[in-house]
Amino acid sequence: MNILVYLFKVNLAVVLFWALFRLAFKNLSFFQWNRFYLLGSLVSAFILPLFRIHFPGLSWVAAGGNLPEMMGIEWSYLDHLAGVPPEMNRLSGPGSPATFLLVFYLVVAAGMLARSILRSRKLLRGVAGSRRIHLGKVGVYVQDGQAGSFSLFRRIYLDRFAWENRLRPVLRHEMVHAVQLHSLDLLFMELVTVLLWFNPFVFILSGYVRDNHEYLADHYARTRSGSLREYLECLRQEAIRYFSPLPASYFKRSTIKKRIAMLTTNHSDRRKKWRYLGILPVASILLLVFHTPAEPGHAESVLHPGEGWNRSMQVVPLREAPSQFPLPEKYRDHITWGYNMEAIHPITRKQTVHQGIDVAAPTGTPVYATAGGVVKLAENESGWGNLVILEHGDGYTTFYAHLDEITVKAGTGVSKGEVIGRVGNTGQSTGSHLHYEVRKNGEHLDPANFY
């Protein structure tokens, strides 16, 4: 899967999960549930695009017609939007638009990561020399300065003002942060913002995570405090105090008004928890949108939950001509023996007219089906080596020879762009390459006219 397509899918999922939280959960007082939703939805946004699932019930073939595009989007068009037209790919080297975008993305991400590291180092230096006053699983420290009280993983840092004035609500509040390890959530969100720095909704979700931490800590600390008035007075005293954002959880946050509103509002009706089931249809919609039978290399995904499904029952397009390059685009200019060219065969040493193209590529490079069809043959054939032959209908067949590995079986259906094998050096071959042919009704055709 192209990195551009993957990032686009991840960001689409982030936007949809943000919209669901904003509409359904943001004002609910189920703070633990919201915490799990916010973190889980972001993890899901990174995982869902990796799934490859077949939806046989959503596709059909009319007699003599084509398979309707009902299962997904042709995501591979993003490759062309970010790069150059297919016919110009031979000229698209390191200076292509896609390469520039990738380099720009990595430079900004590296800069943001460096900034986060520097801010974290500054925070750690600021607490150096703090005096420990409590031993246990959660350590409590008193700072020399008055930078504001905060928690950092399993440690609580009280500033001198809070310690000298015995502000117990502050300690109870920070204890919740420390026990529940809210700093891990903040560290995760910082990594997400580094990876998806160009998506403004990620920063909004990061703010939601921080606010929800404060609501959650206020809730637990308030229930263990005898007086709401005392707790609110403590908030007032801390409201003008300085704090620094990352990666600690501070008692004083800029959302004081929101926190007071949450503290003084009745808890949400428990029956509203059913709303959290809304994540199921959203995830299902994303799987439907992300899936496409025409996505080049989509079988390279890490997760294959549909592997157990009987592939022989897969519905495939009819009358589909080959229409893509059989290897990753970067190997287009690696053709070592072209179509209809005469040369001395390196094995037989005879003058031979080449009926296909030979493309040099490292062993293990994925080989893609250039059109949807049915696997006619998938086995070792003497001089061909490991050979896959696909039938596409309307008389078209394609040959993929000298494979190192075959990943499909005879009689099963394949989709355009599906990985059917790996480049190798089997049969009558003197180096790692793919021999590719296109035939129609048995007649050899120039493969260059089909990609």
Query: In this predicted structure, what is the pLDDT of residue 95?
Result: 52
Based on the fold, state whether residues 441 and 396 are members of the same structural domain.
yes
Averaged pLDDT for residues 161-186 = 78
**Residue 440 covered by a domain:** yes
Q: pLDDT grade, residue 37 (50/70/90)?
A: very high
Are 96 and 221 in a shared domain?
yes
Nearest to 364 by CA among 337, 416, 403: 403
Does 363 reside within a domain? yes
- For residue 440, the domain's CATH number is 2.70.70.10
Q: How far apart are CA 450 and CA 444, in angstroms?
A: 12
Give SS3 for 149: coil
CA-CA-CA-CA torsion sign (229, 232, 236, 237): positive
Angle at 158 between CA 120 and CA 210, to 5 degrees: 55
Least confident of 25-39, 100-114, 224-238, 335-349: 224-238
What are 251-262's pLDDT values in tens digits?
Answer: 445 466 666 666
Please answer whether residues 87 and 211 qualify as being in contact, where contact means their C-beta atoms are separated by less than 8 angstroms: no
What one-letter code names the amino acid at 121? R
Are 90 and 13 contained in the same domain?
yes
* pLDDT tens digits along 418-449: 999 999 999 888 889 999 999 999 899 999 99
Q: Mean pLDDT lowest for which of 38-47, 204-213, 217-226, 301-310?
A: 301-310
Per-residue model confidence (pLDDT) at position 350: 77
Domain count, the chain: 2
d(CA 337, CA 359): 7
* pLDDT beyond 50 at 359: yes
pLDDT attached to residue 263? 63
Checking if the pLDDT of 327 tops 90, the result is yes
CB 291 within 8 A of CB 304: no
Q: Tell me: do 315 and 421 sit in the same domain.
A: yes
Other C-beta atoms lying within 10 Å of the C-beta of residue 22: 14
What pLDDT, in 10s, does the model give residues 265-292? 667 778 888 888 888 888 888 887 776 5
pLDDT band of 212, cuts 50, 70, 90: confident
260 or 90, higher pLDDT: 260
∠ CA 430-365-97, rounded to 5°: 120
Residue-level pLDDT at 315: 44
- The total number of residues written for the chain in this structure: 451
Cα angle: 153, vertex 262, 148; to 5 degrees: 40
Could you tell me the CA-to-CA distances from 281 to 17, 89, 284, 288 in Å, in that order? Answer: 11, 40, 5, 10
| 134 assigned to some structural domain | no
Q: Is 129 part of a structural domain of the chain?
A: no
Kindly state whether residue 172 falls inside one of the protein's structural domains: no
Is residue 203 in a domain?
Answer: yes
Per DSSP, the three-state class of 397 is: strand
Q: Is 79 in a helix, a strand, or coil? A: helix
Residue scoring higher pLDDT (176 or 297): 176
Same domain, residue pair 315 and 430:
yes
Whether 294 has a pLDDT exceeding 60, the answer reads: no
pTM to 2 decimals? 0.54
* Residue range(s) defining the domain that contains residue 106: 3-65+78-117+186-234+254-283
The closest alpha carbon to 332, from 151, 8, 96, belongs to: 96
- Asked if residue 276 and residue 369 are part of one domain, the reply reads no
Mean per-residue pLDDT, 404-419: 92
Compute the Cα dihedral for 167, 173, 177, 183 and give only its sign.
negative
| Best CA proximity match to 370, nearest among 321, 322, 436, 413 | 322
Identify the sign of the CA torsion 247, 251, 257, 259. positive
Which one is predicted more confidently, 196 or 243? 196
Cα→Cα distances 65→60, 212, 292, 317, Å: 10, 53, 19, 8
Residue 120 scores a pLDDT above 60 = yes
Within this chain, do residues 18 and 89 fall inside the same structural domain, yes or no?
Answer: yes
- Per-residue pLDDT at 332 exceeds 80: yes
**CB of 389 within 8 A of CB of 376?**
yes
How many Å separate Cα 426 from the centre of its chain? Answer: 35
Q: Are residues 225 and 330 in the same domain?
A: no
Domain end among 283, 301, 322: 283
Would you say 42 and 17 are in contact if contact means Cβ atoms under 8 Å apart?
yes
User: Which value, to the nearest 10 degrees, does the dihedral of the CA atoms of residues 314, 317, 322, 328 take?
Assistant: -40
Amino acid identity of residue 354, one-letter, is H
In this structure, the answer to whether residues 199 and 325 fall within a common structural domain is no
Within this chain, do residues 267 and 339 fall inside the same structural domain, yes or no? no
User: 378 to each of 166, 267, 417, 424, 433, how far by Cα in Å?
Assistant: 77, 63, 17, 15, 18
The CB density around residue 157, as the number of other CB atoms within 10 Å, is 23
Question: Quick one: pLDDT at residue 157?
Answer: 82
Query: What Cα–Cα distance (Å) separates residue 231 from each residue in 129, 137, 168, 426?
Result: 29, 25, 9, 76
pLDDT over 50 (residue 299): no
Which DSSP string do the residues of 351-376 spell out, in sequence order? EEE-SSEEEE--TT-EEE-SS-EEEE
Contact 329, 359 (CB under 8 A): no
Looking at per-residue pLDDT, the higher value among 55 and 44 belongs to 44
pLDDT of residue 361: 94
14 within some domain? yes
Same domain for 92 and 210, yes or no, is yes
In what helix (H) or strand (E) does residue 152 lie, and over which residues does it extend?
Answer: strand 150-152
For residue 296, whether the previous peptide bond is cis, meaning omega lies within 30 degrees of 0, is: no
With contact defined as beta carbons under 8 Å apart, do 7 and 75 qualify?
Answer: no
Q: What is the largest CA-CA distance in the chain?
A: 97
Q: Does 196 share its domain with 316?
A: no
Residue 201 belongs to a domain = yes
pLDDT of 319 reads 59
- The yes-or-no verdict on residue 96 having pLDDT over 80 is no
